[in-house]
């Protein structure tokens, strides 16, 4: 006679893929390692210091916030770590230390927790934090350091005379900078936005791991390129080449890492593509005719705000009976 | 889950059980027992029938004495009225449904046999096999005027060689083990349904034997390799994949879009019944404990208790903490090992303490994983949030009832939300409020 076993009873399904927030953030961490390396390569140890400061502030802020507010402490899922690093990517190495701390604090408290917590905040927290420091301390945010590659590469020849660079208009800069330098990030800029190569490696990793889908990044970049192409065709002396648009500034980091933030994007395929197209077109509009040099953060925030509307565009559910009158 | 290599297992025929428990109540409806406690029955004898002639008969799977007719824990998670038969040790083969050499030629007669043989299917179809298989001209007169689905001619017959859930290898092994019966069933099924096209869905990783391929070619069957990815093997998903036709949900049947799906095991059973008059007294079940690398295919008498079947299986799964009849995604957790193994059971899965999947009430993080995987193109994240906060009407307006409860959303959820649980909760609450 067999011993009567004590059996657990529950509802199906009885298995789980093992997917977890920790794994998602781990994949994001792996994906941003090349970008961190690129930041260090061009801007030296100072870049790592800024990133470290942002990260530590972000994680501590989240820990303290959750303890003080009596929320379940979920800081160990690592999402604050990733958000902190992403925020650090948006700063240049020339910012004062307190600016990094204040921005990182805002990123977590306002951008993430006050607006709903992980995955429920309407706007990308890192971009919200950036907006706060950009608007409050625009003077500190206006300077970009000249890249000094650690080895193997030389600072771009077009940067030989800093005075000339400072006086240059957009169009002139665009004609000076070789696309190869743009692609590898050998240009003045923020810590994590410059090196397209590193960002594309990280983005490809996220795509392969299925952490993001291709819809948003591809439609973002492709629509920006096509939209810029129209105006470049109309008047190449006023508008920059579309390839310059997609290889410069925040374009790639925005497309692969910022615009795809959980909770801020539509989830249906048509919505995602419209969202990406909106981001791309708005970026080019703001860059070409707006007051700000960089259009990506504002484009992303605007499209974040449109997400609930875009999510109403959804495919018809399978098996929905067509009513016959 | 174990690997493809384990497929090489030979089904093992277990010894005659000391008793069997045969439910006469099923999720589809109940049938009337025609025996009393104390009656002596012979293997293959009819012990319960449907007064309306719609549901299949129940046949005794062993010879012996009826000891009891009482509620018994069934493999669907609750107690069902069942006939208990104690064996008298006789093992002379079942009573045939017709004498040898008197194979019925008439289609109506064949359908009657299929119904009489007690064939039951694992998929949750709204109609029993004999009703589903009948082309409009053969539909039972008491159903014909009321069910528009059954008045629609069938043009595509889909033979499903895909196992419905990961970790189940029943149908793909049946393609080897029951090749002959399966091939013999194809012309029968074609004649009964009147289908013009016949498709066989098989796993893309499976190589068919040469003789099977030849047989399929001769029968004019198109073989369609499908990905080994849950939930491709489920009826609504497979029908749409193969024909592009969408089965209306909820509760729709492939018949409403002129399609019919029969799994390969059931098809083989049809051939046994129609050509040889053999009632379905045996069933093939997979008994697996993946964490202990135990996988068995056992041929048992229908209604054999799980506990008794386990005694003949070596190595026996140790320290089960959860026993699931019906597979990892669609099954039911059992509270007792005294459950009968039925044709609908397909597999029994043993989980230890270590391989429990737990679900908990965490807030959704809108990662969109569930939306990406939902075969019905739903937004499970929104549905479950609405159900969680009691906004059932909102959930219904977002196609709550289109959900087929395949469970893939729960499976992929990174915060382990009980997605399917919440969806079922919403459906139940809505149905309950409608009934009031």
pLDDT tens-digit map of A284-298:
999 988 888 888 999
Alpha-helical runs (H) found in chain A: 21-43, 45-68, 79-89, 97-106, 125-136, 138-141, 162-167, 170-176, 179-184, 196-208, 215-234, 242-247, 251-253, 269-289, 296-310
d(CA B139, CA B134): 5
Å between B232 CA and nearest CA of chain A: 14
* pLDDT at site B352: 86
pLDDT band with cut points at 50, 70 and 90 for residue A321:
low
B356 touches chain A (CB under 8 A): yes
For chain B, say whether A118 makes contact (Cβ under 8 Å): yes
Buried b (16+ CB within 10 A) or exposed e, A110-138: bbbbebebbbbbebbbbbbbbbbbbeebe
To the nearest 10°, report the CA torsion of A27, A212, A32, A110: -100
Q: How far is A36 from chain B (nearest CA, A)?
A: 25
Kindly state the tokens that stand for B210.
């040469």
Q: Which residues of B touch A117 (CB under 8 A)?
A: 363
The token duo for B366 is 């809108």
Each domain of chain B, given as residue ranges in start order, spans 4-12+281-355, 107-276, 369-435
Q: How far is CA A122 from the centre of its chain?
A: 15
Token pair belonging to A18: 């093992």
CA distance A223 to A217: 10
Residue B1 has what pLDDT?
Answer: 36
The SS3 assignment for B86 reads: strand
Beta-strand pair B197-203/B221-226: parallel
Tokens 């650090």 belong to A88
Q: How confident is the model at residue A1 (pLDDT cuts 50, 70, 90)?
A: very low
State whether residue B165 sits within 8 Å of chain A by CB.
no
Chain B contact set for A10 (CB, 8 A)? 322, 333
Full-prediction pTM beyond 0.90?
no
Q: Does residue A307 carry a pLDDT above 80?
A: yes
Of A168 and B274, which is predicted with more confidence? B274
Name every chain A residue with its beta carbon within 8 A of the beta carbon of B412.
17, 19
The pLDDT score that the predictor gives to residue B213 is 92
Q: What pLDDT sits at residue B3?
A: 43
Indicate the DSSP class of residue B75: T
Element (H, E) at B15: none
Distance from CA of A63 to the nearest CA of B (A): 18
Strands B12-13 and B294-301 turn out to be: parallel
Ordered DSSP codes for B163-183 = -SSTT--HHHHHHHHTHHHHH
Q: Which residue has the tokens 């951008």?
A: A111
- The reply to whether A3 touches chain B by the CB within 8 Å rule is no
Low-confidence ranges of chain B (pLDDT < 50): 1-8
Hey, of B415, B425, B428, which one would you mutate to test binding to chain A, going by the most A CBs within 10 A of its CB? B415
Give B-chain residues touching A262 at CB under 8 angstroms. Answer: 365-368
Is the pLDDT at A323 greater than 60, yes or no?
no
Dihedral angle at the C-alpha atoms of A228, A234, A239, A245, nearest 10 degrees? Answer: 20
B157-195 residue pLDDT tens:
999 999 999 989 999 888 888 889 999 999 999 999 999
Residue B226: predicted pLDDT: 93
Residues of A in contact with B323 (CB under 8 A): 5, 7
Residues of A in contact with B351 (CB under 8 A): 14
CA angle B257, B262, B267 (to 5 degrees): 150
Considering only CA atoms, which of B349, B370, B377, B375 is closest in space to residue B416? B370
Please judge whether B322 and A320 are an interchain contact, meaning their C-beta atoms are less than 8 angstroms apart. Answer: no
Q: Of the candidates A2, A9, A19, which has its C-beta nearest B369's C-beta?
A: A19
**Contact at CB, B332 and A314, closer than 8 angstroms:** no
- Which CATH fold would you assign to the domain B4-12+281-355? Ubiquitin-like (UB roll) (3.10.20)
Q: Which residue has the higher pLDDT, A186 or A132?
A: A132
**A125 contact B CB<8A:** no
Q: Rounded distance, CA A58 to CA A55, Å? A: 5
Spatial neighbors of A248 by CB under 8 A, at least 6 apart, are: A174, A177, A182, A187
- Which residues, other chains included, contact A20 with Cβ-Cβ below 8 Å and sequence gap of 6+? A77, B414, B415, B416
Q: How far apart are CA B145 and CA B147, in angstroms?
A: 6
* A151 pLDDT higher than 90: no
Number of H helices, E strands in chain B: 14, 19
CATH pick for B107-276 out of 3.20.20.140, 2.40.170.20, 3.40.50.11540, 3.40.1710.10: 3.40.50.11540
Check: CB of residue B253 under 8 Å from CB of residue B230.
no
Percent of chain A with pLDDT over 70: 92
B321·A8 Cβ contact <8 A: yes
């Amino acid at each position: 006679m067999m011993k009567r076993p004590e059996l657990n009873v529950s509802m199906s399904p009885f298995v789980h893929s093992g997917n977890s927030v920790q794994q998602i953030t781990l994949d994001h961490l792996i994906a941003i390692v090349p970008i961190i390396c690129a930041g260090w390569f061009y801007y030296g140890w100072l870049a790592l210091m800024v990133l470290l400061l942002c990260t530590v502030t972000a994680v501590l802020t989240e820990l303290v916030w959750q303890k003080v507010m009596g929320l379940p402490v979920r800081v160990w899922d690592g999402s604050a770590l990733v958000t902190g690093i992403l925020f650090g990517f948006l700063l240049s190495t020339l910012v004062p230390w307190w600016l990094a701390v204040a921005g990182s604090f805002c990123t977590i408290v306002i951008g993430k927790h006050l607006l709903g917590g992980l995955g429920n905040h309407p706007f990308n927290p890192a971009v919200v934090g950036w907006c706060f420091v950009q608007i409050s301390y625009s003077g500190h945010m206006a300077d970009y350091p000249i890249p000094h590659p650690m080895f193997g590469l030389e600072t771009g020849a077009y940067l030989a005379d800093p005075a000339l660079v400072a006086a240059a208009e957009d169009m002139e800069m665009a004609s000076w900078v070789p696309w190869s330098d743009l692609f590898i990030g050998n240009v003045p800029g923020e810590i994590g936005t410059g090196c397209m190569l590193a960002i594309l490696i990280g983005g490809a990793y996220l795509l392969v791991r299925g952490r993001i889908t291709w819809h948003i990044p591809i439609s973002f970049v492709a629509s920006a390129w096509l939209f810029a192409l129209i105006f470049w065709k109309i008047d190449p002396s006023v508008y920059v080449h579309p390839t310059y648009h997609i290889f410069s500034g925040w374009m790639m980091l925005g497309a692969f890492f910022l615009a795809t933030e959980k909770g801020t994007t539509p989830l249906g395929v048509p919505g995602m593509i419209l969202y990406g197209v909106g981001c791309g077109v708005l970026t080019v509009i703001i860059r070409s005719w707006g007051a700000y040099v960089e259009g990506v953060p504002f484009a992303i925030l605007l499209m974040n705000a449109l997400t609930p509307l875009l999510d109403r565009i959804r495919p018809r559910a399978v098996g929905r009976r067509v009513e016959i009158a | 889950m174990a690997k493809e290599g384990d497929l090489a297992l030979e089904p093992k025929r277990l010894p005659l059980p000391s008793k069997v428990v045969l439910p006469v109540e099923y999720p589809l409806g109940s049938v009337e027992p025609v025996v009393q406690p104390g009656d002596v029955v012979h293997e293959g004898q009819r012990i319960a029938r449907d007064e309306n002639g719609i549901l299949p008969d129940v046949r005794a799977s062993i010879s012996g004495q009826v000891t009891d007719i009482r509620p018994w824990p069934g493999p669907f998670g609750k107690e069902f009225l069942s006939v208990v038969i104690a064996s008298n040790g006789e093992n002379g083969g079942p009573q045939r449904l017709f004498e040898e050499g008197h194979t019925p030629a008439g289609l109506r007669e064949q359908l009657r046999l299929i119904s009489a043989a007690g064939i039951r299917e694992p998929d949750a179809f709204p109609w029993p096999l004999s009703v589903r298989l009948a082309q409009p001209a053969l539909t039972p007169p008491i159903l014909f005027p009321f069910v528009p689905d059954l008045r629609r001619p069938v043009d595509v017959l889909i033979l499903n060689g895909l196992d419905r859930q990961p970790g189940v290898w029943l149908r793909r092994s049946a393609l080897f083990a029951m090749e002959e019966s399966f091939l013999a069933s194809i012309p029968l099924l074609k004649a009964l349904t009147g289908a013009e096209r016949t498709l066989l869905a098989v796993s893309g990783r499976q190589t068919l034997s040469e003789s099977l391929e030849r047989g399929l070619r001769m029968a004019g069957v198109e073989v369609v390799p499908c990905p080994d990815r849950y939930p491709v093997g489920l009826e609504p998903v497979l029908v749409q994949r193969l024909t592009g036709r969408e089965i209306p949900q909820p509760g729709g049947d492939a018949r409403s879009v002129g399609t019919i799906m029969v799994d390969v095991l059931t098809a083989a059973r049809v051939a046994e019944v129609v050509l040889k008059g053999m009632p379905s007294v045996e069933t093939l079940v997979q008994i697996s404990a993946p964490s202990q690398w135990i996988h068995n295919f056992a041929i048992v008498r229908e209604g054999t208790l799980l506990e008794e079947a386990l005694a003949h299986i070596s190595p026996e799964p140790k320290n089960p903490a959860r026993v699931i009849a019906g597979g990892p995604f669609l099954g039911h957790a059992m509270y007792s090992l005294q459950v009968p193994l039925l044709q609908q059971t397909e597999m029994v899965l043993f989980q230890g303490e270590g391989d429990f999947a737990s679900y908990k009430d965490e807030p959704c993080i809108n990662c969109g994983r569930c939306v990406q995987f939902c075969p019905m193109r739903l937004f499970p994240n929104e549905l479950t949030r609405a159900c969680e906060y009691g906004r059932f009407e909102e959930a219904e307006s977002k196609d709550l009832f289109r959900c087929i409860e395949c469970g893939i959303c729960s499976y992929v959820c990174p915060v382990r939300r009980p997605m399917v649980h919440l969806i079922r909760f919403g459906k139940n609450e809505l149905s309950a409020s409608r009934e009031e």
